[in-house]
Amino acid sequence: MLSRDSLTAHILKSSGFSMLEVLITVLVLSLGLLGMAGLITTGMKSNSTAHFRSIAIHQTHDIADRMRANLAGARGGLYDDLTIDIPTGNDCIAAACDAAQMAVYDHAQWNAANANLLPNGRGTVSGDLVNGYVITIMWTEKDRGGGCQGAVTPETRCFLTRFSP
């Protein structure tokens, strides 16, 4: 049988945490928090990518609707080769425009919106009325390679749509 003094010493010795147990707990907790931070960062990048893709989809619909609205310009081949440049032209909201002026206005408004809505955003349209058009929206996403043909940087992402008015 243990004496009272040895029983008290035994209880005091076995109670509480040792420094090693505390350090292991802190290490495990730190690794868990680092993992959660990584998940949050990945989620934010994915959310940003989804947002940019959504804008790209909207912008392809925008130019397709502009081409449908100016069918005389599309039939005349005025939308067959829209480049990434932003042309200058008439303000077709303030004054009446013919089909050619409207095509230039649409091109300028569309690529200005691409530049404003997407990082380094720009768009092209190629094709013709008979074979259909390919609408390409390009933007830059850091740390995300897109593999676009004709891309200036490896971070350029593309969204392509085939369209026939």
The pLDDT of residue 42: 78
Query: Domain for residue 20, yes or no?
Result: no
Residue 71 is assigned to a structural domain of this protein: yes
Q: pLDDT at position 141, please?
A: 82
Residue 27 forms part of a structural domain? no
Nearest CA to 77 among 147, 14, 133, 142?
Answer: 133
Q: Tokens 């995300």 appear where?
A: 144
User: Does the residue 38 lie in any domain?
Assistant: no
Contacts of 109 (CB under 8 A, 6+ apart): 66
Kind of pairing between the strands at 156-163 and 81-82: unpaired
The string of pLDDT tens digits covering residues 84-128 is: 888 888 888 888 889 999 999 999 999 999 999 999 899 999 999
109 belongs to a structural domain: yes
Residue of higher predicted confidence among 47 and 67: 67
Range of the domain at 88: 49-163
Q: Say if 31 falls within a structural domain.
A: no
Where is pLDDT greater, at 19 or 10? 19
Q: Do 123 and 82 meet the contact criterion of CB atoms below 8 Å apart? A: yes
- In this prediction, residue 47 carries a pLDDT of 78
C-alpha 153/C-alpha 13 separation (Å) is: 65
pTM greater than 0.85: no
In a domain, 131, yes or no: yes
Domain count, the chain: 1
The pLDDT of residue 134 is 94
Q: Could you tell me which of 51, 47, 43, 63 has the C-alpha nearest to residue 117?
A: 51
Residue 14 is assigned to a structural domain of this protein:
no
